Structure 1
């Protein structure tokens, strides 16, 4: 399992399996967030199966699918309060973990410096430097 810690509140991962949910629970995650649409690609585990495993292992489940390469401001606006209010720590997953990282970064830009966001993402293995203009736009929205 490839969990990548961004900070104490959130980690991201590439696509997880049903079996990975038990490991996530053992590691202390409290909320599981799926940012990948069901049936995005052939062979992908069903979100219903992952949700059932999350509930079986006592994890809160959030299904917030976002199209790869098409994260909207509405997606960011939905992600921000969900992460703020979720029982932590949160494990968010998508195909590669990048989509989750971008959602986190854009929603965090409203209250956190770009340098801090870039550093946390880079430490987790994601280069999101290309988001600088969009993060600046989010920072202007505050909140």
Structure 2
């Protein structure tokens, strides 16, 4: 599991597994946001299994499944609320981390160049989102 620090107390990653959750707690994460829909690909752990392991490890959990872009405004609002409500540091994940990073970028405030630079530093090219960044 490769974790990419993004902004503030938020990091993103590709798909996590049940075995990763104890390591995330040991690294100081206090909450996880799952941005993958269940059944997106064969062998992927389902949300309920991951959430149970996270709660057992004392981590807060939020499931905000997104299948692709464009994201619905309600999804952006829900992601933004999760960032405010869940204890940090937080890890958001999806298949590769790109959707989670894009969700952050689209709800972030500040100059587009700064948002894109933070994403790039985390290993994600979100330049295609420039027209939609506020």
- What is the TM-score when the length of structure 2 is the normalising length? 0.95
Q: Give the unaligned 5+ runs of structure 2.
A: none
Q: Does 1:4 align with 2:8?
A: no
Which runs of structure 2 are paired with 1:4-83 in the superposition (5 Å)?
4-83=4-83
Structure 2: how far apart are the matches of 1:44 and 1:64? 16
Query: How many Å apart are 1:68 and its aligned residue?
Result: 2.2
* Aligned mates of 1:84, 1:113 — CA distance in 2: 20
Structure 1: state its 5+ residue gaps.
none
Per-residue Cα deviation, 1:36-72 (whole angstroms, up to 9, x for no partner): 0011111101111111110111000101111123422
Question: How many corresponding residue pairs?
Answer: 134
| Structure 2 Cα separation of the partners of residues 69 and 7 of structure 1 | 21
Q: TM-score, normalised by structure 1?
A: 0.89
The runs of 4+ residues in structure 1 deviating greater than 3 Å are: none
What are the Cα deviations for residues 6-48 of structure 1, in whole angstroms up to 9, with x where unaligned? 0231000100000001111011001110000011111101111
What's the offset of the Cα at 1:77?
A: 1.6
Q: CA deviation at 1:74?
A: 1.9
Quick check: 1:130 aligned with 2:128? yes
CA distance in structure 2 between the partners assigned to 1:129 and 1:40 by the alignment: 25
1:84 Cα deviation after fit: 1.8
